[in-house]
Chain A
Amino acid sequence: MTSSRLLTAYTWAFLLFMFGPLLLMIVASFNDISPPSVTDWRGLTGKWYAFFWMPEEALRADEVLRALDRERFVACFGNSLTVAAWVVPISLVLGLAGAVLLTRWRSRANGVLWWVLLSPMLAPGIVLGLSALVFWGRVGINAGLFTIIMAQVTFVAGYPMLILMARLQRQPVELEEAALDLGASPFRVFRRLTLPYLAPALISAGVIAFMASMENYNTTMFAKGGACTFATEIGAMARNPNGHPPVINAVGTAIILVTIAAALAHTFLLKREETR
């Protein structure tokens, strides 16, 4: 009994460790002081949020906010969306191909393929960014969004591959054989059986690939050249000599809220699915 109490207490302590810093970040996002602080309370403000939509004059009037480049920030966020819009579909296609080969191709090369395709997930992120930069530079393509996309795809494609593979392994081989035996062409089997069967896994793999692309910093930093993304721009604000502006806390708070909402929605959907 006592050991289970101890475990419960530990659980709460662990959750506090995980959520504590996030809560402080949220609190600091409402404090009218830069750099963000929770010890020096200067009054409640929403201006770190309003930064994204306040009129130009108001922006100029504030001594902290006027130093920030709102256009650049928005442009970088747009870059991130562009990158993700490429990375997600490419990763899904590559991941699907890898998953099919690794689960269905019986060959001696299979073991080698495992190592090659999983190695980017095991390699340090910076190495992937750097090697993409060097390789495409050698080919003659300058660093920019293209190298970011290539570098991210290298490892992001591994997530769909693992997810799809787990699902493919659970699909009985007999299903495909039965369909082939009934006279279906392989392509029809793939379209009518395999793809519908993989659909839920494809969706979750797409979401995970999108998140991995959006939040990626380590790989992107090395491959970006002169370009910027949401993550590198956020990261760059840390080098502000006066400490980072609380705008970051505001963005973080928004991300936390969106994440919580998405996680809750997902859980409820799952529960409804189960009870049905």
Chain B
Amino acid sequence: MSGLLTRCGRALTLFFFGAVVLWALVLILLPQLTMLERAMTAPKRQLDSSIALSLSRDADTCISVLRTHEAAPAANAAPESGGLAVPSLSTMGTQPSAQSGGLAIPSMSNMGTSPANGTATEAPTRPYILQCDRTTTRKQMVRSSEEEPAWLDELYGLPRLAVQDTDPIETQIETAREIGGLARTLYTELKEAEANAFPYTAENFHWLFAARAIPLSPEQKAIENARLSKKLYGLLGLRFERDGQVYERIGMITLTRTIAFAAMATALALVLCYPMAYKVALATPPQQAVWLFLGLVIPYAIVELMRVYAWTTIIDNEGLLNGLLTWAGMISEPIQFKRMPGTIFLVIVYTYVLFMVFPIYNVMATLDRNQIEAAKDLGARAWRVHARIIIPHAKPGIAVGCIATFMLAAGAFSVPRIISSGLQSEWFSQTIYNKFFESENSNIGAAYSFTYTLVCFVVVGLFMWAMRTRLKDFARVQ
């Protein structure tokens, strides 16, 4: 600190510290903390209290609608005896969308009877009212798909009440009032409990591990079971069978696959790039190396999206590859390359491969060529020169290149989005996008995103530890 003060003076030191603190806090740390907070917050509408609240509101609405019905029974009775079923029918269409536990059945059965006999004892005393239908203590609570379904009446010891449309209207109003009262009391209690309760939950993270039933016919199942990737998922506990039904932990599978693909892409990029870096840095006279270097810089500098678009000409259904195959008579129908995970993998390698070349090249170029001469002079063969001199020297560059490529590949979003037009959710980044912007609960997206960051950092950290790389190498290599 004092050294810095002597060198830079008070004003500049303050300025630099201020800038760095702003950058570190406002742009890096606080946003991640906010993400974590979002990830650990259950969405409002999921809370048990909000279900109690909506129940009390439904009860109120039901009562007031019943009142108007009661006040003008004649007006309602006339159309009821004539056209009758029409309002019921029209509401039937909306019914499946209404979340209504077990109550759908009575009104279904009513539907069957009412047109046949308008004066039956079981006949409803009122037309269908959605809110009255929903006014029941038998409410399902929102729980993650792994848990047992929970019900409001069982959970909080309420009597099992429902507004029956066959009861006299008075009774219905009475029941609704009772339910409304219970719900309001419960809401106040729950609200208070929730306000005092620890506001954070790990529930959003559970979604990542949630298992989904995969509907498969027996033949499909046999094919799927034979696939290596599915077997691997089975070994990792990401895929299992229960009662003949196949379950997959979709979130985890996508995450695992993304990390695995990214690692493979990195390894492939390393294999592709090492000879290139060697060629440009050490195996070419400097005069020509300038041009080779240019040949690498140009595709590197071209906008990432354009490099991705360039591939569509090749892999389109009417693209070069399909054109060639058809012309050669090998296929009659175009192959859907765009839908293949392998294609996305290939384009990701193409797009990010050069991020591997430059770190390795930069380090290799600092190697004194005399060392290679000396080693050869002492009788070392080419592979030994690489193993004992060039690779140890280039190690920091290799490590940095691997980390850069891995992070880009793991975080790839543009490639799957453009190549497969976002149709497949093969890459975890797309899952995050969908969860965050296109699903009801964006907090799950936040949880996914946070987990993703964590996993990536752990992988990179382990790699750096294994390679004995320090962060400072990034400054030396860049």
Contacts and interface: CB of A to CB of B under 8 A. Distances in A.
Interface of A: 3-4, 7-8, 10-11, 14-15, 17-19, 21-22, 24-25, 28, 35-40, 93-94, 96-98, 100-102, 104-107, 111, 113-128, 130-132, 134-135, 138, 150, 153-154, 157, 162-163, 165-166, 169, 176-177, 180, 185-187, 189-190, 211, 214-215, 217-218, 221-222, 231, 234-235, 238-239, 243-244, 248-249, 251-252, 255-256, 259-260, 262-264, 267, 271
A218 B413 contact: yes
A118 B474 contact: yes
Contact of B292 (A11, A25, A221): A11
Interface size on B, as a range, is 35 or more
A94 B276 contact: no
B139 interface: no
Contacts of B20: 94, 97-98, 101, 113, 117
B452 A124 contact: yes
Contacts of B200: none
B7 A122 contact: no
Contacts of B316: 35, 37, 243
A187 B11 contact: yes
By secondary structure, the B interface counts as helix
Nearest to A109: B1
A21 B295 contact: no
A249 B311 CA distance: 11
B446 A217 contact: no
Contacts of A186: 6-9, 12
A97 B16 contact: yes
B298 A259 contact: yes
A267 B418 CA distance: 33
B35 A264 contact: no
Contacts of A130: 35, 432, 436, 445-446, 449
B275 interface: yes
Contacts of B429: 124, 126, 218
B1 A105 contact: yes
A248 B421 contact: no
A262 B407 CA distance: 28
Contacts of A35: 312, 316, 318
Contacts of B314: 21, 24
Nearest to A238: B418
B279 interface: yes
Contacts of A211: 301
B227 interface: no
Nearest to B478: A162
12 contacts: A25-B309, A94-B19, A97-B20, A107-B1, A115-B471, A116-B24, A117-B23, A130-B432, A190-B8, A235-B305, A252-B306, A256-B306
Contact of B306 (A93, A132, A255, A260): A255
Given A124-B456, A217-B413, A243-B316, A259 B476 contact: no
A38 B309 contact: no
Contacts of A19: 295, 299
A45 to B, nearest CB: 16
Contacts of A218: 411-414, 429
Most buried by A among B32, B457, B476: B32
A239 B475 contact: no
A235 B306 contact: no
B30 A135 contact: yes
Contacts of B78: none
A10 B460 CA distance: 30
Contacts of A125: 411, 413
Contacts of B478: 162-163, 166
A162 B295 CA distance: 24
